[in-house]
Structure 1
Amino acid sequence: MPQCVVIADDLTGANATGVLLKKMNYTAYTVMNTERIELSTLKDCDCVLYPTDSRGVDPKIAYNRVYNVCGLLKNDEVKVYSKRIDSTLRGNLGSETDAMLDCLGEDYVAVVAPCFPSSGRIVIGGYMLVNGLPLHKTDIAIDPKTPVKISEDAVLFAEQSKYKVASVLMKDLMHGKHYLADLMKKHVEEGCRILVVDCVTQEDLDLIADAVITSKLKVVAVDPGVFTATLSRKLITPSEKKEKSRILAVVGSVHPNTRKQMEELWLSQRTHNVFVNTKELLEDEARREEEISRVTEEILRECKLNMVSTVTGDGIYPENRIDFKPYMEKYHCSMDEVTERINSGFAEITYRIFKAEPEFKGLYTSGGDITVSVCARFNTAGLSLMDEVLPLAAYGQFLKGEFEGVHIITKGGSQGQNDAINRCITYLKEKLYI
């Protein structure tokens, strides 16, 4: 039987959440007519999604639809209950949340985490922002069917729900999962059944999910789908579990954009970074080997603790930039030959990491010369190109060679906005079902 039940207010929302769950290797069924499907049909799926088509109807009708479906699908085996809501807070938020709480019982509470980071929907200070604008200043405020004229998500729930609502702000998340778990329990003890939580990044959603698990509260996840997927990932083992995969980002570009993009990645996702002392790659063989070994060993020592590891040239900071002329004179060679020595050093580090740890299945490279050197060291015949992640960032897989099938995204160092590398890594995670 399904271990995740998602009740959505429309079909596209149900399917969008189902896709997020499918990316993590769960089997997900969207049920559109309970009269045409027997519950035994659902026994082989991990997640069932049911759209009630209730976003624009009277709140009482929405309540009844959600209550009836929840009663049909609830089961002792379910580990995650979800009320999928619109990513811009349209519809019958309060009455539909109430319906699930009433159906599941008085020991359940709703945890509302309505952000969708990759779509520019975030909640900070109790306000929902859409691509940086307060919700009430967007076109949603003049939506012809279900306009939303308030940006404060907790206020929206309080206006629509019969239950007491508490707001949990970003300052509360800064103290960690145990503090957050205790705060959630405190609000529940004070009679609150709907907890509306600030959330900006995937890291925030992971923290909220960890706090929910730590608190041992029985919850309904109320969100546009990302929090539901996050909670499911932590509580449900897919029926066909995919082997664990890790990602390595190798960045040798010294363009100012690269520094901004890497810093954005480090702030947005849990990563372990090791800086390469690039000058050491240009010294004698002993010093070069010592630096390659140091970086490789540091990554391998910590990689089990992080899904994403990054190897970054220290040249992203201007004070570490190299004057190539002394090395050109020392080795009597061209600038291209000097930079190739650096690139091949990065490639050797990458190769040794992948050789030593088979769980590395995803690779991000920044800088065309670095990518060429990595492909040469991996002895790949080329790349099977599959998609454009964003302009000038290509996704594909290695063809032939020792690491055939490894997923790779390549991007020019100067390309993209500050979130470009973060978006590329998130894309790789989705492809690897992390």
Structure 2
Amino acid sequence: MPQCVVIADDLTGANATGVLLKKMNYKAYTVMNTERIELETLSECDCVLYPTDSRGVESEIAYNRVYNVCNLLKNDEVKVYSKRIDSTLRGNLGSETDAMLDGLGEDYVAIVAPCFPSSGRIVIGGYMLVEGIPLHKTNIAIDPKTPVKVSEVEVLFKEQSKYQVSSIYMKDMMHGKHYLADRLLDCVNAGSRIITVDCVTQEDLDLIADAVITSKLKVVAVDPGVFTATLSRKLIVPAKKKEKNKILAVVGSVNSNTKVQMEELWLSQRTHNVFVQTKELLEDEGRREQEIARVTKEILDECDRNVISTVTGDGIYPENRIDFAPYMERYQCSLDEVTGKINQAFAEITYRIFQAEPTFKGLYTSGGDVTVSVCQRFETAGLSLMDEVLPLAAYGQFLKGKFEGVHIITKGGSQGGRDAINRCITYLKEKLYI
């Protein structure tokens, strides 16, 4: 039997969640006709998704459909149960969640984490915002079939569910997974079977999933799919076991846009960053080597604790920008030769990290000159280009050489919106099944 069961209120939602799971190397089946499929067939997949087409029906009918499917698919081998709901909270949220809780038994609780960061759906202070607008002020409020006139997630569930509902807000998520796990248990001990949780970023969803696992609660994930995928990633090993791959981002650009993009990445995902003291790279050879070795060591010392590491030139902050004229005069060389020394040092740091730690399989580089220097130091014959991640951000793999097959995304420092680097790193994570 599959280890993940997702019951969705419509087909497109089921498929959207299935795609998220597939990106993490899980084999996912969407079942649309139980009369045409043998249950033994489901043993071939990691995740099964079942749409009940119940978003716009009466709540009693929705309850019965979900309850019956839940009883059909529940199994001792299942590690993740999910009630996939609409990303804008339309439909029979309460009755369908009740149906899953009733079908699975009284020791299960529902964790509602209905954010979808990449689509601009977040929950903060208990309110759902869509692209920064409260839900009840969007066109969802006048949806002809399933209008939603309330933005508070807890209120919507209280109106529709027979069970006690509690909420956990962002202030409770600032003290780590153990504290959050205790808060979840407090809610359950106080009688709640449905707990709604604030969530804005993927990091928030990771924290909630870690807290759920720490609490040892039996849960139903109630969300539009991202929390389900996050919980599955932490609990289920795909049939094809995944490697513990890591990603390194190397950013030498001093463009002001790069600063905004890196700060967005650091806020959105757990990373370990080391700033390169760029001036040290232009001093004597001893200080240059000392700085290269320092940055390399700091990344390697922490990489086992972090999937994403970043090496960033301190020049993204204006106060650290270098006046190159004195160095041009000292070394009697051109501006290109001076900046080339910096780019080559970034490339050397990158090379030493990949050489010392083979689990680094993904690389992001920002700044064309840094990218060229990295490719030269890695002695790659070129890049096998595969996709455009976003305008002027290309994805490919190294061709030939010792590091053939390393996944790389390259982007100009000035290109893209504030989330551009975050999107590139997320893309790499999907390609590496992280």
TM-score, normalised with respect to structure 2: 0.98
Match of 2:36 in 1: 36
Q: Separation in 1 of the partners of 2:3 and 2:413?
A: 43
Q: Separation in 1 of the partners of 2:369 and 2:162?
A: 61
Match of 1:315 in 2: 315
Letter in 2 for 1:255: N
Match of 2:10 in 1: 10
Q: Separation in 2 of the partners of 1:188 and 1:88?
A: 26
Query: Partner of 1:343: helix, strand, or coil?
Result: helix
Q: Say if 2:165 is the partner of 1:165.
A: yes
Q: Separation in 1 of the partners of 2:175 and 2:275?
A: 28
Q: Say if 2:58 is the partner of 1:61.
A: no
**Deviation at residue 265 of structure 1 after TM alignment:** 1.1
Percent sequence identity is: 85
Match of 1:266 in 2: 266
Match of 2:403 in 1: 403
In the TM superposition, structure 1's runs of 4+ consecutive aligned residues that sit over 6 Å from their partners are none
Letter in 2 for 1:415: Q
Match of 1:51 in 2: 51
Match of 2:117 in 1: 117
Match of 1:332 in 2: 332
Q: Separation in 2 of the partners of 1:196 and 1:49?
A: 23
**Deviation at residue 401 of structure 1 after TM alignment:** 2.0
Residue by residue over 1:288-342, the C-alpha shift from the partner in whole angstroms, topping out at 9 and shown as x without a partner, is 1111111111111111110000000011111111111111111111101111111
Match of 1:226 in 2: 226
Residue by residue over 1:343-381, the C-alpha shift from the partner in whole angstroms, topping out at 9 and shown as x without a partner, is 011011111111111111111111111111111111112
Can you give the 5+ residue segments of structure 2 that lack an aligned partner in the other structure? none
- Structure 1 stretch 254-263 or stretch 362-371: which is displaced more? 254-263
**Deviation at residue 391 of structure 1 after TM alignment:** 1.9
Match of 2:90 in 1: 90
Letter in 2 for 1:377: R
- Structure 1 stretch 293-302 or stretch 278-287: which is displaced more? 278-287
Q: Separation in 2 of the partners of 1:398 and 1:139?
A: 46
Q: Separation in 2 of the partners of 1:115 and 1:72?
A: 28
Q: Separation in 2 of the partners of 1:182 and 1:342?
A: 48
Q: Separation in 2 of the partners of 1:142 and 1:382?
A: 53
Match of 2:137 in 1: 137
Letter in 1 for 2:139: D
Q: Separation in 2 of the partners of 1:15 and 1:398?
A: 32
Q: Say if 2:379 is the partner of 1:372.
A: no
Q: Separation in 2 of the partners of 1:325 and 1:91?
A: 65
Q: Separation in 2 of the partners of 1:61 and 1:226?
A: 27
Q: Separation in 2 of the partners of 1:176 and 1:79?
A: 23
Q: Separation in 1 of the partners of 2:216 and 2:312?
A: 40
**Deviation at residue 14 of structure 1 after TM alignment:** 0.8
Residue by residue over 1:20-46, the C-alpha shift from the partner in whole angstroms, topping out at 9 and shown as x without a partner, is 111111111111111111111111211
Q: Separation in 2 of the partners of 1:363 and 1:141?
A: 43
Match of 1:343 in 2: 343
Q: Separation in 2 of the partners of 1:353 and 1:22?
A: 30
Q: Separation in 1 of the partners of 2:232 and 2:405?
A: 27
Match of 1:199 in 2: 199
Can you give the 5+ residue segments of structure 1 that lack an aligned partner in the other structure? none
Residue by residue over 1:174-209, the C-alpha shift from the partner in whole angstroms, topping out at 9 and shown as x without a partner, is 122122111111111221111010000111111111
Q: Separation in 2 of the partners of 1:359 and 1:179?
A: 31
Q: Aligned Cα RMSD in Å?
A: 1.0
- Structure 1 stretch 352-361 or stretch 140-149: which is displaced more? 140-149
Q: Separation in 2 of the partners of 1:285 and 1:388?
A: 39
- Structure 1 stretch 135-144 or stretch 205-214: which is displaced more? 135-144
- Structure 1 stretch 21-30 or stretch 220-229: which is displaced more? 21-30
Q: Separation in 2 of the partners of 1:152 and 1:380?
A: 53
Residue by residue over 1:77-123, the C-alpha shift from the partner in whole angstroms, topping out at 9 and shown as x without a partner, is 11110000011111111111010011111111100000011111100
Q: Separation in 2 of the partners of 1:238 and 1:79?
A: 12
Query: Partner of 1:65: helix, strand, or coil?
Result: helix
Count, aligned residues: 434
Match of 1:75 in 2: 75
Letter in 1 for 2:209: A
Letter in 2 for 1:46: D
Letter in 1 for 2:186: K
Q: Say if 2:356 is the partner of 1:356.
A: yes
Q: Separation in 2 of the partners of 1:339 and 1:144?
A: 60
Query: Partner of 2:49: helix, strand, or coil?
Result: strand
Q: Separation in 2 of the partners of 1:19 and 1:404?
A: 28
Letter in 2 for 1:81: Y
**1:142-153 matched pairs, under 5 angstroms:** 142-153=142-153
Q: Separation in 1 of the partners of 2:395 and 2:143?
A: 36
Q: Separation in 1 of the partners of 2:176 and 2:358?
A: 32
Query: Partner of 1:7: helix, strand, or coil?
Result: strand
Residue by residue over 1:244-302, the C-alpha shift from the partner in whole angstroms, topping out at 9 and shown as x without a partner, is 11000000011111111111111111111111111111122222111111111111111
**1:408-423 matched pairs, under 5 angstroms:** 408-423=408-423
